[in-house]
Amino acid sequence: MASFRNGSVEIAYLDEGAGEPIVLVHGFASSKDVNWVYPTWVSSLRQAGRRVIALDNRGHGQSQKLYDPEDYHIGTMASDVRALLDHLGLTRVDMMGYSLGSRITAYIAHAHPQYIRSAIFGGLGIGLIEGGGPGEDVARALEAPSLADVKDRVGRMFRAFAEQTRSDRRALAACLRGSRRLMTREEAAAIRVPVLIAVGTADDIAGSAEALAEVIPGSQVLDIPRRDHMRAVGDKVYKDGVLNYLSRRP
């Protein structure tokens, strides 16, 4: 496992392949392996001639676990990604996030656009601005004694996923409470890097991709047919659409 430190926090990452670099930022309760390796994103991008970099967000995967919500502000999590780029000597990359990873990617695209050649927001539409998705019910579900004690539908889904990935549920609850900052409409409208918004048509967590595209100038939409928030990640339409977008972007 490769790793580096951003301040006192140890962050795990992978760096494979050669060619133009793309950085992958996974979603809440996931990891670089679950979000990108197992669904064959890393191998598909490598086969397309890309250098692929993916990190485990703080509190996730093999990265350091922290239990104070203050350690998980979006800007702080984004600083881990920027520190990774600095660690690898990369000044400009394509970047794809999924769900929470898309919030982090959007933050960087707005606040530090010099790092971003193009951005792909997977699993996140107008929810970037209007919210939705996992909230306090999910945090409580993660802290519940068992899955059987969780009655909330979304809470059960995330609790089951966290158990499946053998995640540190206390760290995830802290992450959820600390990373809730939404982007304002004005901030999203100020994003000037090329953006692709890829959302499953059955995703009731991400919010409308079309509505977000109306806010971000020049952004494009990729519909992932009949896929919900969890099942869109490894979809062939998603992969093919992203590879096509990357091959066409300036």
Q: What strands, in cross-sheet order, belong to the sheet with 93-98?
A: 2-6, 9-16, 50-55, 20-25, 93-98, 116-122, 195-200, 220-224
pTM of this prediction?
0.96
CA atoms within 13 A on the CB side of 153: 3
Q: What domains are there in the chain, each with its CATH number? A: 2-132+182-248 (3.40.50.1820)
Distance, CA of 210 to CA of 82 (rounded, Å): 28
**d(C-alpha 49, C-alpha 82), whole Å:** 23
pLDDT digits (tens, 9 = 90+) for 70-97: 999 999 999 999 999 999 999 999 999 9
Phi, psi of 14 (to 5 degrees): -125, 155
SS3 158: helix
Structure confidence by residue, pLDDT tens digits, 149-199: 999 988 998 999 999 889 999 999 999 999 989 999 999 999 999 999 999
**Is 250 a residue whose pLDDT tops 80?**
no
Question: Which tens digit of pLDDT belongs to each residue from 121-137?
Answer: 999 999 999 988 788 99
The average pLDDT across 97-104 equals: 98
Neighbours of 202 (CB within 10 A): 13
Structure tokens at 49: 């001639």
Task: Tell me which residue of 29, 56, 34 sits closest to 170, measured CA to CA.
Answer: 29
Token pair for 106: 């959007």
User: CA 232, CA 237: separation in Å to the nearest integer?
Assistant: 9
